[in-house]
A and B are shown apart, each in its own frame.
Chain A
Amino acid sequence: MSGRGTAIALRIAQAIPVVIGVVVISFVLTRALPGDPAAQFAGIAATPESIEEVRRALGLDKPLLQQFFIYCAQLLQGDLGQSISTGRPVVSELAARLPASLELTLTALFVSCAISIPLGILAATRPGSWVDQLCRLLVTAGVSLPTFFTGIVLVYVFYYLLGIAPSPLGRLDFVYLEPPHVTGFFLIDSVIARDWETFGGTVKQLVLPATTMALFTLAPIARMTRAAMLSALSADFIRTARASGLSRRKVLYGYAFRNALLPVVTTLGMVFSFALGANVLVEKVFAWPGIGSYAVEALVVSDYAAVQGFVLAMALLFVFLNLVIDLAYSVIDPRFGTSAK
């Protein structure tokens, strides 16, 4: 057990230089971006003097190194700075928007796993059958349809033509009140508040965007499941298991699937990270108040604090995610964390 504990501690320790690197790089990169925030925020008809005034007010007249130390000192106090474009602390912006993005992404991933993993297994056990063809079709469609396109088509068909979907206006129709803030996830918060109508409203709003994201994330997971299952099923130990007369179920799920799960979990981690990135487009189509559209807007107006805060939050999220995946490995594969790792 101590082997596992050490491995986790080691993983966390490895994350420290990554985070420091992210802080430095995000600071330097935002400054290296073309565009002058002082000119941007002084407005289009600004005079050189008023631009200088704004520059001083934003603290951008100081030497770069000094700006960096000020930023680091603030970071150590947990202060990500003030977003100039929204005039609110970056921390509170992220706290308000990250749950929205996570709720959407996690729901989408849950749906896509629920479909793609069984589909991948079925396709692998019956290669060449209609299930396999269906899997191939879904995978190709998922890869080739851009998310904003799927999003718009879904809105067109289910909202505009059929009228069964609610208006694509963010996380909740304005018929409902937001549930009291506990986690920021409306699904969870409304359950805590036992407000089933709001829960229903949240689900309704989630269906289309989550389906869009699920279609997009389905492809890599289904493919990886199929491939990993195929190679596991052709392995020697499966032949041995079959020869020993173990039941089909035991062979398939007890041995083949468990071995195939490692690459699937790895893919899942990767899919999660790029799904968060691809969220931006879905957020735009469904007016979803997520973190992606916030970051894009901040970038456009060179809002340094907001961009840095976003990059840092994402970095921490990925460090955490990698940790979770590594821990999942050790659950799936007992060899992890021992000499065999």
Chain B
Amino acid sequence: MTTTRRNFLKTGAALSAMPFFMSLPASAAARDTVVVASGETINSLDLHRTGTNRASYEVAINCYDRLIRFGTKTTPEGGVSFDYSQIVPELAESWTTSEDGLVITFKLKPNAVFQDGTPVTAQDVKWSFDRAVSVGGFPTTQMKAGGLERPDQFAAVDDHTFTVTLDRPSKLSLPDLAVPVPFIINSKLAMEHATDKDPWAMEYLHQNTIGSGAYKVIRWDNGQQLVYERFDGWVGGLTPAVKRVVRREVPSAATKRALVERGDVQVAFGISDKDASELSGMLKVDSTPIANCVHALCLNTNFEPFTDPNVRKAIAWAVPYEDIFKTAAYGRGAPLWGGTEEITDTAWPRKSQYSTNLEKAKELMAASAYPDGFEVPLSIALDLAYWMEPAALLIQEAVGKLGIKTTIDKIPGANWRTASLVEKRLEFHLENFAGWLDTPDYYFFWAYQKGHLFNSSNYFNEEVEQLTNETLHMEMDDPEYAPKITRMFEIVLDELPRIPLWQPALNVAMNGADGYEFWFHRQLDVRTLTPVAS
């Protein structure tokens, strides 16, 4: 037998020597390989690069470590989700906050090493944090949310002690270190590839993962696949059960579904609500509602009729919530209507006190300044048409009964952000915002404060402004916190700049794998996956 590449590989002796080996899907049952199908493309291995898309955050999560991460909890649906209230070590062994809450001191795990074997030091952490606040764009904005703005806030005291100095104490600072952005890079290796033009080694990190994380990328075929291989020296958590994870890009939803049903891929990530509801009887499907995320119908205060409280409430009573939830979301996610008026807890998103009651809606409309209705365009984003279009059609029909004539205006994805969020010129539109940091005040900061990006309704209420500013950095166990938050809920659910529709879900189907956990960043954390015999 002549030695070809294939039979050379078949001997198995070559496994460790080859960057990528062959694993027949059938034999993968005994396996150390899990195949994941995802519809989205990974366009960079470096989250900090300008132009890196959301799907690529996955690499930062799996191949790099942060100082800390969130714990996990079991969800009411039976899945596992991250737990915002609990922070656990990743690269840091322990941490303390000073009396005044201004200095956080981290002790690094002494045995932590990067994938090339060099030890992780506080200097690496400092360099990585400096990079995150200096490169601009999304990473810098996200760091700012936790009050981390300038390199002089970070200091390496000795090899294993690292401090963060804040301008003011904030409850968001520590959680902001557990989001994917402040990941820790092997700075010595990075500096070798840095140039005067490229001091942060953006070019090198775009193509290479040089972290201390549980996996490294051993192969990346742009637009096709990405292969992770386990790094056995990882100290950030329990050693992953799977040696290799192959992430194949499958743009077609139908193909993705066929693959997971046949068991040729073990995880289909981000499947549609329709596929999730149809597959849930046959396979293990996880549909955890996305934390701090609300699909909402927004009423812009720029538009005269929407300044009339009776009109806003009439619309809120007219919306066919149940039908929308069934048609647009196939029942995946959590309903956000039909709650009680009295607010006793600070859980967010919460059910509004509204439900479908056309009689009540008509009465309110008759009492308003526009008893005969008016005309208004209802805008939706073409990119998000999968949920916005059915929702908009049902809303159009329902408000039509109140005499409000709507035309559905489909706006292309490239224009949507400018029109809805920057210029805030859409009178009547659908919108969704999800906050990474899972506190109601953080949601209010983005979606209900004047001039802020996701406040696409141009909402302004002095009391809400003030309460949001007060609660944003306040500890959640502060006795003043809960009353202030419930007051904020009360105001916005009464004034209704955004009518909550439902909380959407992230759907993942598994056939031959288990251990999926839902994370706020909505990417796949492959570190917890386990193979199961199918």
Chain A residue numbers with a CB within 8 Å of B261 are 160
Q: A172's closest neighbor in chain B, by CB?
A: B224
Question: What is the 8 Å Cβ interface bit string for chain A, positions 265-298, against chain B (1 contact, 0 not)?
Answer: 0000000000000000001111101000110010
Residues of chain A with a CB closer than 8 A to B418's CB: 35-36, 39
Which of B142, B255, B262 has most A Cβ within 10 Å? B255
Of A34, A46, A53, A297, which one neighbours B41 at CB under 8 angstroms?
A297
Whether A84 contacts B50 by the Cβ 8 Å rule is yes
Would you give the shortest CB distance from A306 to chain B, in whole angstroms?
11
- Assess the B51–A84 pair: CB atoms within 8 A: yes
Q: Are B141 and A197 in contact (CB under 8 A)?
A: no
Q: Which residue of A lies closest to B419 (CB)?
A: A34
CB distance from A295 to the nearest CB of B (A): 12
Secondary structure type dominating chain A contacts = loop
Using A34-B414, A285-B255, A289-B223 as known contacts, say yes or no to A169 and B4 having CB atoms under 8 A apart. Answer: no
Binds B, one of A18-26, A151-159, A222-230: A151-159
| CB 8 Å contact bits of A94-117 with B (1 = contact, 0 = none) | 001100000000000000000000
A34-B414, A175-B24, A302-B414 are known contacts. Are A152 and B4 too (CB-CB below 8 A)?
no
Cβ-defined contact, A54 with B136, below 8 A = yes
Does chain A have a CB within 8 A of B62? no
A86 located at the interface, meaning its Cβ lies under 8 Å from any Cβ of chain B in the complex: yes
Q: Choose the segment among B210-218, B233-241, B246-254 that binds chain A (4+ C-beta atoms closer than 8 Å).
A: B246-254
Q: Are B412 and A35 in contact (CB under 8 A)?
A: yes
Q: Give the size of the chain B interface in residues (CB under 8 angstroms).
A: 53
Residues of B within 8 A of A294 (CB): 223
Contact: A43 with B137, CB < 8 Å? yes
Contact B222 A167 (CB under 8 A): no
Interface residues of A in 1-46 (CB under 8 A from B): 33-36, 39-46
Asked if A65 is at the interface (CB within 8 A of a chain B CB), the reply is no
CB of B101 closer than 8 Å to a CB of A: no
Taking a contact as CB atoms under 8 Å apart, the answer to whether B136 and A174 are in contact is no
Check A46–B259 contact: CB distance below 8 A.
Answer: no
Query: Any chain B CB within 8 A of the CB of A195?
Result: yes
Contact between chains at A50 and B254 (CB < 8 Å): no
A57-103 interface with B by 8 A CB criterion: 57-58, 84-88, 93, 96-97
Chain A residues with Cβ under 8 A from B223's Cβ? 86, 97, 289, 293-294
Partner among B221, B222, B258 whose Cβ is within 8 Å of the Cβ of A160: B258
- Are the CB atoms of B262 and A43 closer together than 8 Å? no
Contact call A300/B222, Cβ cutoff below 8 A = no
**Contact, CB under 8 Å: B417 / A44:** yes
Is B20 an interface position by the 8 A CB rule?
yes
Tell me, yes or no, whether B43 is within 8 Å of chain A by CB. yes
Bound CA span A155–B252, Å: 11
| Distance in angstroms between the alpha carbons of A34 and B265 in the assembled complex | 38
Q: Does B71 belong to the interface (CB within 8 Å)?
A: no
Known: A34-B412, A155-B254, A155-B255. A289 touches B138 (CB 8 A): no
- Whether the Cβ atoms of B264 and A167 lie closer than 8 Å is yes
- B417 contacts A287, C-beta separation under 8 Å: no
Q: How far is the CA of A53 from the CA of B50 in the complex (A)?
A: 10
Tell me whether B283 is interfacial, beta carbon within 8 Å: no
Q: Which residue of B lies closest to A88 (CB)?
A: B222
Q: Which residues of A contact B24 (CB under 8 A)?
A: 175
Q: Give every chain B residue within 8 A of A47 (Cβ-Cβ).
A: 141
Residues of A within 8 A of B453 (CB): 44-45
**A284–B50 Cα gap in the complex (Å)?**
26
For window 10-61 of B, CB contacts with A under 8 Å fall at: 20, 22-25, 35, 41, 43-44, 49-51, 53
Q: B225 — which chain A residues lie within 8 A by C-beta?
A: 170, 174
CA separation between A85 and B40, bound complex, in Å?
13
Which residues of chain B from 442 to 492 have any CB-CB distance to chain A below 8 Å in the complex? 446, 453
**Is residue A177 contacting chain B, with contact meaning CB distance below 8 A?**
yes
Instruction: Say whether, besides A39-B422, A46-B137, A50-B137, A174 and B222 are in contact (CB < 8 Å).
Output: no
The reply to whether A85 and B51 form a contact with Cβ atoms under 8 Å apart is yes
B contact residues around A176 at 8 Å (CB) = 6, 22
Given the interface contacts A35-B414, A41-B50, A284-B252, does A195 sit within 8 Å of B4 by beta carbon?
yes
Residues of B close to A43: CB separation below 8 A: 137-138, 141
Known contacts A159-B258, A287-B255; A167 and B249 CB within 8 A of each other: no
Contact A169 B248 (CB under 8 A): yes
Which residues of B, 45-99, contact A by the 8 Å Cβ criterion?
49-51, 53
Contact in complex: B5, A287 (CB < 8 Å) = no
Residue of B nearest to A195 (CB): B4
- A163 interface residue, CB < 8 Å from B? yes
1/0 contact string of B408-431 vs chain A (CB within 8 Å):
000011110110011000000000
Q: Digit string of A112-150 for contact with B (CB within 8 Å is 1, else 0)?
A: 000000000000000000000000000000000000100
Of all chain B residues, the one with the shortest Cβ separation from A36 is: B418
**Shortest distance in angstroms between B163's beta carbon and chain A's nearest beta carbon?**
27
Is the Cβ of B138 less than 8 Å from the Cβ of A284?
Answer: no
**A53 and B224 contacting across the interface, CB-CB below 8 Å:** no
Partner of A167 from B5, B25, B206 at Cβ < 8 Å: B25
Contacts of A300 in B (CB 8 A): 413-414
In-complex Cβ contact of A46 among B138, B248, B254 (8 A): B138
A111 shortest CB reach to chain B, Å: 22
Cα distance A97–B264 in the bound complex, in angstroms: 25
B117-152 vs A, Cβ < 8 Å mask (1 yes, 0 no): 000000000000000000011101110000000000
- Alpha-carbon gap, A289 to B474, bound state (A): 50
Q: Is the CB of B414 within 8 A of A287?
A: no
Contact A169 B259 (CB under 8 A): yes
Contact status A42-B251, CB under 8 Å: no
- Measured between C-beta atoms, what is the minimum distance from B351 to chain A in Å? 26
A-B residue pairs, 8 tightest by C-beta: A35-B414, A43-B138, A41-B51, A167-B264, A53-B136, A84-B51, A284-B251, A160-B258
- Jot down 28 A-B pairs with beta carbons below 8 A, ordered by A: A33-B414, A34-B414, A35-B414, A35-B415, A36-B414, A39-B422, A42-B50, A45-B141, A54-B50, A84-B51, A86-B223, A87-B51, A96-B222, A152-B252, A168-B259, A169-B250, A169-B264, A174-B225, A177-B6, A177-B9, A285-B254, A286-B252, A287-B224, A287-B248, A289-B223, A294-B223, A301-B53, A301-B414
Besides the known contacts A155-B254, A170-B224, A289-B221, 8 further A-B residue pairs in the complex with CB atoms under 8 A apart: A46-B138, A87-B43, A87-B49, A174-B246, A195-B6, A286-B252, A287-B248, A301-B414
